[in-house]
Amino acid sequence: MSTTVAGAAGTEGLAGPEPGAPGAEQLAGLVLAAGPHATAVTLAVARGERSAVHCHGRTARDGGPCTPDTGYELGSVTKTFTALLLAELAARGEVSPDDPVQRHLPAGRRPPDVRRGGPVRLIHLATHTSGLPGLPPGLLVSAVPSWNRNPYAGYDEQRFWAALARTTVRRPPGEVYWYSNYGVGLLGRLLAEAGGGPDYAGLLDERIGRPLGLATLTCSPDAPLLATGHHLGRPLPPWRIPALPGAGAARAGGADLLRFLRAHLEPDGGPLGTALREVRRPRLRLPRSGDEICLVWNHRRAPDDRDLFFHSGGTRGFTAFVGFCPQTATAVAALTNTGPTVRSSFTQTAYDTFKRLARPDGETAGSG
């Protein structure tokens, strides 16, 4: 069962499957890549003034039809929202990317111990160059009992702050790229403190969700319209990550992710314009790669000088991919309700789909 919501920007209306809609030919490949354990797949595509949200399957094996508003856990795609929050607070003068971490710590909280180099700064957290490890100390030990279901659920805010105080940064901040959920999770907490919001979820809604009209964007595991995640065919409870919401707690539907990506394509004249331009600016080149890191976003330059910005994410029960290309006004979000595994090809298929649709002839190119 598949449906397509298609139309010009801002004029989507419910319709049956439309083979001519952008991305229609690529949906089948993503359904295949999602594998037999997925019950839902969403592919949202914008190409110039045309857009479509293709929905396949049901929210659960006994659930209702998947729709453009069906929410998926985004995993590390959450980090792109955290990056936009950093740029938005910086545009308002509430923070500077060069601020040291300790400037925005809650009262009584200690920063990590830096053995060499200067302090850890916000920009280091947003570019994975802070020197912090991938996860906070103690998290893996607490995660083992629920590793295949909800490994982060038992690691709360108090344990996070206690771990930060005993963390030692052994490499000079800004020197080495090392992907870190810990670092971006810390960034989300510091931004919530600096922005005056009650928490990360509240700041996300206030500064991004409402200005961009993202009604399904939420960090709540109990929000309505959420699909059920699956791991190796087993339905899972909602993902909970109380200590690190800025690294992986967001949920959203395909239509709202497309609105989010369109805002990156067309920052001028819209809300968050300065911040949306800033997150696209490359900050460093990755070692042994031609890719660059912006504020969280990966940046790859195509042979014809097109800019491909992308990020992927996964929880135990969901896989997500987002990407946009300004030169061809292309945006793609691909979502499924089964978690990534060693043999999973969903993320690679989603990236290949994005790359194909972002070509200058992408609107008319087939799926081959």
11 pLDDT above the threshold of 60: no
- Give the pLDDT confidence of 164-202 residue by residue, as tens digits: 999 999 899 999 999 999 999 999 999 999 998 789 999
- What would the two tokens of residue 268 be? 């001028």
Q: Report the mean per-residue pLDDT for the chain.
A: 92
Q: What is the pLDDT of residues 314-354, one digit of tens each?
A: 999 999 999 999 999 999 999 999 999 988 999 999 999 99
Question: What is residue 146's predicted lDDT score, i.e. its pLDDT?
Answer: 85
pTM flag (> 0.85): yes
pLDDT: is 15 or 179 the higher one? 179
Residue 1: per-residue pLDDT: 65
